[in-house]
Chains A and B, each alone.
Chain A
Amino acid sequence: MTQTRTVSRNKLFGIPLPAGHTGVDLIISALRIIIVALIIIGAGNTLLEGRFTFEQWLALLFAGLAQGSIYALIALGYTLVYGILRMINFAHGDVFMAGAFTTVFLANSFRQSGFLDSQPLLAILILMGFAALVSMTVAVLLERIAYRPLRNAPRLVPLITAIGASFFIQYTFRGLFGSGFKAYPTVAFLRGTFSVGSINVPIAQLFVFVSAIVLMICLYWLVERTRIGKAMRSVSEDKEVATLMGVNIDLIIVFTFAIGGALAGAAGVINGLFRPQGVNFFMGFFPGIKAFTAAVLGGIGNIPGAMLGGMFLGVIEAIGPNLVLNGLGIPSANQLKDVIAFTMLVLVLIFRPQGILGERLSAEKA
């Protein structure tokens, strides 16, 4: 049966629009142009003014990459769970906190005993393992107690539950360890800088970046090259068909939470080596939000997307205020760091609604 489709031309303020375009399209196009123009003008002004040197820009870039690596590691937890369950685990930031907060005590005892200075790499590996274990336990318990009973409930129910679980984890840890701030010890070999010519990169930043990349490669390998990774992908594709093929869905979901939790725990220690201060029960809140943003930015459900989104967000946050806002003459540019980050999110989403690497979701998935 054939259907004849009449092309009716839409109008905006009485002006006929090009065929196939609606008023919304026009507004989005205008928004694209305005945001891009503001960025170009701001950046141009700053660069012409020459307030910062090339070395300073590079220093900001590296700090942004290191911060972005941490966002990326947390973002992976969001994206893995979303890929499997189509739910946003808003308590994931607190899973990160659980590992980081618990391990700070072990890290400080390592410093006092001298173990951290005599065997730094081994000590860091033990700390990361311990934090991963703690976060993994919290994540698995979270799935078992808070999410599994609601697996077939409408989508909003687990979402609200996740927010409740987030508070529950925060205040449990406050009860355990108090509300004061703790800090990770600084490790001697991470203090120096790595120099190439006139470019100096703090070794701590390099270390964060490299460890994050290594962990991400391991994850990618796990998901793409192993049997359980194949099972994860099949559950993500279609739960019912996966069940028919003999995949144990419950096991795969628990495994996904465990992997996401372990990565978050490891990120807690890596974060502690890079930004030692500020360890307390509330420390997961902001990184959680940023990592979620990174996951959406990269295309939620997509593993390389989360990595890229995290790095992108970290770099934008570090460079954006000085590059764009300073050039536009906006006072207190650094307070508007989040504005820059979220403007970038809007910008990416108006050009690519599915995120940088996201695929358009099929009706079944969405």
Chain B
Amino acid sequence: MNALRLIVLLAVTFMVGTAQAQESECDDERGCVLIGPDEPVTIGYMLVTSGAIAFLGEDSLGGIELALDARGNELLGREIELLGEDSLCTPEGGQTAAENLVADEQVLGVIGTSCSSAAVAALPIISRAGYVMISPSNTTPGLTEEKRDIGGVWQPGYFRTSQNDLLLGEVTAQFAIEELGARTLATIHDGSVYAENLQRVMAERFVESGGELLYAGSINVGDTDMTAILTDIAAEPPDILYFPIFEPEGSFIAAQIRSIAGLEETQLMSAGGLMVASFPFNSGEGALGMLLSGPAVAGDDYRAFLADWVEKYGSSPPGSYHAHAFDATNILLDAIEAIAVENSNGDVLIGRGRLLDAITATSGFDGITGSLQCSPTGDCATGEAIGVFEIGENEVNEGHWPPGLIWTPATGALVEDM
């Protein structure tokens, strides 16, 4: 009994001693992570990996895994360990996922969440613990807005590589008015925070630029019959029908619209949620000529990425934020590499505050979603990285992806690709 007490006492003394030793080395106010010579570099993800939109999380997870593969799964001469949590697409899910990840002191940063609703709940936990999170697919404006009175929820430690809806809505409206010469608009959302915000911003900018909003309606996730809402819209046919929603509802709209009298001349437009190879292929001829505005993910780097994806997973990515997850992971890993300090005994010390500063300082990052530069409140995607794509025969019939980029705000119309 006495021997046992002695052992416990010794163990406690030793633990307190090492903890003090660590603290004396760490001068970072957000805390530090000490990685031993044989320990892995640990990062985490919180993505939606179950339920109806599991494809969104799986899509981003693939991007993370390919980014790790590209480095041979090694950083600072150590193996990279990836911990995962299912953050669902709800505040509860985000909260649980964040609590679980911050419980592990070795986790340096987190990729996620998939949904803005989960991010709003996860962010205070991540931020309070001194961690950083980089979302590949949150687009709600409030997440990178500091002012609480206009709905801002930003806290230090939050970043995203996906576009803020304010930016995307503005560019989309500008394109519709100036390039297409559109005057009237109808919008459809699916009740999600994402779609509702994006269509609202786009419609507001469209009206500010002199256009007219004829119809703003919504459907439910899970609806398959779109004839009722399309018939309603056809009573006053608009120049543009904007529906920034996801598969499969987006496919149902594109496929069913051709059978509705009155909407033959209406130009269909959508956003990042439908920028996925299966959308035009599944929708068939209805998607022909449809325009998608979103991240200008194109070019040789992206094609190489897609080839790697097909090689690793056997089919094309199921969603549209894999490239953002790839870039988010690289920003995180680059920043870790840049600020890591190696001690004489082979340990690596990483200050969480310095990591946050290093990510905030990201500038001119050459990602596959364009050139990224993080704002002080974590918006890393810039307006330059937005483009408009047109779906053509190849995408509809052959499952070819990505479609031709026809316009970007920086360069205007790209005639050679049209």
Q: Which residues of A contact B (CB under 8 A)?
A: 51-52, 55-56, 59-60, 63-64, 67, 171, 174, 178-183, 186, 202, 275-280, 282-283, 285-286, 317-319, 321-322, 326, 331-335, 337-338
Cα A250 to Cα B54 with chains together (Å)? 38
Partner pick for A180 among B227, B252, B278, CB 8 A cutoff: B278
Distance between Cα atoms of A174 and B57 in the complex (Å)? 14
User: In the complex, what distance in Å separates the CA atom of A332 from the CA atom of B190?
Assistant: 10
Query: A277 and B228: CB pair below 8 A?
Result: no
Minimum CB–CB distance from B310 to chain A (whole Å) comes to 13
A326 to B229, CA, bound (A): 11
Q: What 1/0 mask marks residues of chain B from 230 to 244 whose CB sits below 8 Å from any chain A CB?
A: 011011000000000
B144 to chain A, nearest CB (A): 28
Total count of chain B residues near the partner, CB < 8 A: 38
Interface-forming stretch among B91-99, B281-289, B366-374?
B281-289
Measured CA separation A208–B219 after assembly (Å): 24
Whether B232 pairs with A67 at a CB distance below 8 angstroms is no
Indicate which residue in B216, B223, B232, B282 contacts A276 across the interface (CB closer than 8 Å): B282
* Bound complex: CA A276 to CA B281 (Å): 11
* Interface members, chain B 207-258 (any A CB < 8 Å): 216-220, 222-225, 227-229, 231-232, 234-235, 247-249, 251-252, 255
- Give the chain B neighbours of A55 by CB distance below 8 A: 261
Contact yes or no, B217 A332, CB < 8 A: yes
Contacts A276-B282, A278-B252, A322-B231; A335 near B315 (Cβ below 8 A): no
Residues of chain B within 8 A (CB-CB) of A278 are 224, 247-249, 251-252, 282
B55 at the interface (CB under 8 A from A): yes
**Cα(A122)–Cα(B315), bound, Å:** 30
A-B contact pairs, 11 of them (CB 8 A): A55-B261, A60-B227, A60-B228, A180-B278, A182-B278, A183-B281, A277-B248, A278-B247, A286-B224, A318-B225, A326-B232
For the complex of A and B, list the 6 residue pairs with the smallest distance between their C-beta atoms, beginning with the closest.
Answer: A278-B248, A183-B282, A180-B318, A277-B251, A286-B222, A334-B229
Contacts of A318 in B (CB 8 A): 225, 227-228
Of B224, B228, B229, B251, which is within 8 A of A183 by CB? B251
B55 touching A179, Cβ below 8 Å:
yes
> Contact check: which of A275, A280, A322 meets B228 at CB < 8 Å?
A322
Identify which of A180, A276, A283, A322 contacts B315 (C-beta below 8 A).
A180
Taking each of A179, A275, A321, which has the highest tally of chain B beta carbons within 10 Å of its own beta carbon? A179
Give chain B nearest CB distance to A206 CB in angstroms.
Answer: 13
Q: Which residues of B contact A179 (CB under 8 A)?
A: 54-55, 58, 318
Enumerate chain A residues within 8 angstroms of B251, measured Cβ to Cβ.
181, 183, 277-278
Chain A CB within 10 A, most for which of B58, B223, B227, B252: B227
A282 and B231 form a contact (CB under 8 A) = no
A180, B401: Cα distance in complex, Å: 15
| Residues in chain A near residue B307, CB distance under 8 A | none
| Given A179-B55, A277-B248: A63 in contact with B218 (beta carbons within 8 A) | no
Closest Cβ neighbor of B231 among chain A residues:
A56
B191 in the interface (beta carbon within 8 A): yes
Q: How far is the CB of A69 from chain B (nearest CB, A)?
A: 12
* CB pair A60 B231 closer than 8 Å: yes
Q: In the complex, A285→B259 CA distance in Å?
A: 27
Name B residues whose Cβ lies closer than 8 Å to a Cβ of A: 50-52, 54-55, 58, 191, 216-220, 222-225, 227-229, 231-232, 234-235, 247-249, 251-252, 255, 259, 261, 278, 281-284, 315, 318
Are the CB atoms of B255 and A335 closer together than 8 Å?
Answer: no
Q: Flag if A67 contacts B224 (CB, 8 Å).
A: yes
- Contact, CB under 8 Å: B282 / A275: no
Q: Would A337 and B228 count as touching, CB distance under 8 A? A: yes
B51, closest chain A residue (CB): A282
Question: A63: which of B54, B227, B255, B284 is its contact (CB, 8 Å)?
Answer: B227
Q: Across the two chains, which residue of chain A brings its CB closest to B286? A: A277
Distance between B399 CB and nearest chain A CB, rounded to angstroms: 11
Closest B residue to A66 by beta carbon equals: B225
Chain A positions within 8 Å of B252 at CB level: 275, 277-278
Please, which residues of chain A bring their CB within 8 A of the CB of B52? 282, 285
B217, chain A: closest CB distance, angstroms: 5
Contact, CB under 8 Å: B232 / A322: yes
Contact A178 B315 (CB under 8 A): yes
Q: Quick one: given A174-B54, A181-B55, A277-B252, are A332 and B218 in contact (CB under 8 Å)? A: yes
A317 touches B318 (CB 8 A): no
A67-B225, A286-B222, A321-B228 given; 14 more Cβ-contact pairs under 8 Å: A178-B58, A181-B247, A183-B281, A275-B252, A276-B255, A276-B284, A277-B248, A280-B248, A282-B52, A332-B216, A332-B217, A334-B232, A335-B220, A337-B228
Complex CA–CA separation, A286 to B222 (angstroms): 6
User: CA separation between A180 and B220, bound complex, in Å?
Assistant: 19
* Distance, CA A202 to CA B220, complexed state (A): 24
- Is B54 touching A277 in the complex (CB atoms < 8 A)? no
A59 touches B255 (CB 8 A): no
* B58 proximity list for chain A (CB < 8 A): 178-179
A64 to B227, CA, bound (A): 9
C-alpha spacing A209/B55, complex, angstroms: 32
Q: Using Cβ atoms and an 8 Å threshold, which residues of chain B touch A63?
A: 225, 227-228
**Bound Cα distance A174, B53 (Å):** 12
Q: In the assembled complex, how far is the CB of residue B351 from the closest CB belonging to chain A, in whole angstroms?
A: 38
- CB-CB under 8 A from B55, the residues of chain A are 179-181, 280
Q: Which residues of A contact B315 (CB under 8 A)?
A: 178, 180
- Say yes or no: A277-B247 contact (C-beta < 8 A), given A180-B55, A286-B222, A334-B218: yes
Q: B232, A275: Cβ atoms under 8 Å? A: no
**Contact A59 B219, CB 8 Å, known A179-B55, A277-B252:** no
Closest B residue to A167 using CB positions:
B50
Q: How far is it, in angstroms, between the C-alpha of A333 and the C-alpha of B188 when the chains are bound? A: 12
Q: Which residues of A contact B50 (CB under 8 A)?
A: 171
Bound complex: CA A51 to CA B231 (Å): 10
Q: Note all chain A residues with C-beta closer than 8 A to B235.
A: 51-52
Cβ–Cβ contact B191 & A181, under 8 A: no
The chain B residue sitting closest to A320, CB to CB, is B228
Considering the chains assembled together, what is the distance between the CA atoms of A171 and B283 in angstroms?
A: 25
Q: Give CA–CA (A51, B262) in the complex, Å.
A: 13
Evaluate contact between A337 and B223: CB separation under 8 angstroms.
yes
Indicate if the CB atoms of A275 and B278 lie closer than 8 Å. no
Q: For the complex formed, measure the closest distance between the CB of A107 and the CB atoms of chain B, giving whole angstroms.
A: 13
A56 to B315, CA, bound (A): 41
Residue of B with least CB distance to A67: B225
